[in-house]
Amino acid sequence: MGNVGHNCGIVVTHSLHDAYSFTKSLQHRGRDGAGIAGVYDEGIDVLRWIGEIGRFDMGNLPNIFSREYYSFLGHVRYATSGRKSRILEDTHPVVIGGIEERRDSHIFVRGAEMACVMNGHVDDKYFCDNLFGELRIGLDTEKFLHFYRQYGEKEVLRKIPGAYTVAIADIKKKDVMVLRDRFGIKPGVLGVKDGKHVVASEEIAFTENGANFFEELKLGSVYYLARDGSYKVEEVVEEYPKSCFFEGNYISHVLSSLNGVMVRSLRQKLGEKLAEEHNFENIDLITYLPRCPEPAARSYAKKVNKPFVPVFYKPRAERAFQAPTTEAREDSISKNLWLLPEMREKLEGKRIICVDDSTIRGNNSKRAGKLLYEVGVEVAYLLNYTPKIGIVGNDGKKRGCMFGVDMPLNDNFVARNRSDDEISEVIGMPVRYLSLEGMLEVFESLGIRRGNLCTFCVGGKHPFMEN
């Protein structure tokens, strides 16, 4: 079976309510499936379901999780094209042992021996077939859990370089373990809620739910979260920071922070740099493709002294990028990207700059251009504050993501082997990109060294091969 990638959100808490609410705050990281595990002395109970967190009412959960649990794991996931037919089976927490019951759009597991929630992706080459007993689903996370069962948490960090932030509950151990690999490509933060330490993929899970940020999870380390709320941390391998720049540019919530930098501030700076590199004459207004690029578009408008005007809206918060197929992405976009009322009167004959975070496959951009030109816009420029994703690097190798964002090397990248003018022809409006150098300068201006970023998808080196 081939490798399976996913971008997800994980949490570790000490109450069922917090597991639900923390995970809900990470909904932007995945909407295809969700799950919660409750850990008690003799086992682990798990509930997994298809769809958003809110698809399973919180009021039902205390009856389902009816034992005395001391820790909880939570997870949100978006599926990939290779596993689109197995969304429910692939939803976390992934388990070893226990009795499973399937109920239409959800699954119960009672009395599992181990459970795991992961954000990231691990290549099959790090696993040997003789590691596994009978695999239930064959997902990389399940293989990861079997690897842990045989070798232990410290050998996981030593032998599997990345990319993962993962929480493991094991009834043979007193503590829930959280591991972050040596490169730190996937985010993870430690916080405090009601005097007890908790973990989440992003700080927004704390901010929205009465918890306080404590620290970013140390790279190459394992955190042991005790049932009394205390914790200890052990550094297992030396760190080689290679955090994913795309977390800041797109994936993470605007109110989160990464590497000590507020995501909003980063996007504002990217918008300013975009204005320095791409400024056109006789522009009437600046807008954006909702919702992620808004801070960048506002700072761009301020930099060039032009009015910022919202033009589009989305009825639903879903991200088309996370849909599992081209057809699903196009369907999401066609039903979820619209012009605000009375835009024809406001836009006819205007020259517009539309700021976007990135143009990966081009579906969203095509829809935006079509809507704008239908109401008589004279010209609309699409400006991206992320460089071209999915190009062929200077080494002749295809780029994409193999580390947990669903952008496989053979994806339908609109920028691959195309010039800006050729991309513009495909999209249907002039398209320009922030340079890689310009983006890296922004990160450095905020105290994040360019050498500490993974830039593989935009032409950089493979993060694992540099060390």
Token pair, residue 238, equals 């030396």
C-alpha 165/C-alpha 460 separation (Å) is: 22
Structural fold of domain 264-466: Rossmann fold (3.40.50)
Looking at residue 360, what is its pLDDT? Answer: 95
Q: Which residues of 63-92 are buried (b: 16+ CB within 10 A; e: fewer)?
A: eebeeebbbbbbbbbbbbeebeeebbbbbb
- Give the residue-averaged pLDDT of 104-126: 95
* CA 452 vs CA 57, 244, 368, 455: distances in Å: 41, 9, 34, 9
**What's the pLDDT tens digit per position in 276-301?**
999 999 999 999 999 999 999 999 99
Fold for the domain defined by 8-240: Glutamine Phosphoribosylpyrophosphate, subunit 1, domain 1 (3.60.20)
The tens digit of pLDDT for each residue in 377-404 reads 999 999 999 999 999 999 999 999 999 8
Residue 407: is its pLDDT beyond 80?
Answer: yes
Instruction: Report, as an integer, the average pLDDT of 34-54.
Output: 98
Residue 323 — pLDDT band, cuts 50, 70, 90?
low
pTM of the model: 0.93
Whole-angstrom distance, CA of residue 414 vs CA of residue 154 = 41
Which residue type occupies 181? D
Give the three-state DSSP class for 268. helix
Would the pLDDT of 467 be above 60?
Answer: no
Q: Which residues make up the CATH 3.40.50.2020 domain(s) of the chain?
A: 264-466
Tokens standing for residue 280? 């056109």
pLDDT value for 1:
27
Residue 306, CA distances (Å) to 279, 303, 313 in order:
11, 8, 21
Could you read off the pLDDT of 73-108 as tens digits, one per residue? 999 998 655 466 688 999 999 999 999 999 999 999
Residue 269 has pLDDT above 60, yes or no: yes
Give CATH 3.60.20.10 domain extents, the chain: 8-240
pLDDT class of 335 with cuts at 50, 70, 90? confident
> How far is Cα 143 from Cα 137, in angstroms, rounded to an integer?
9
Residues 117/10, Cβ–Cβ less than 8 Å? yes
Cβ-contact 3, 123 below 8 angstroms: yes
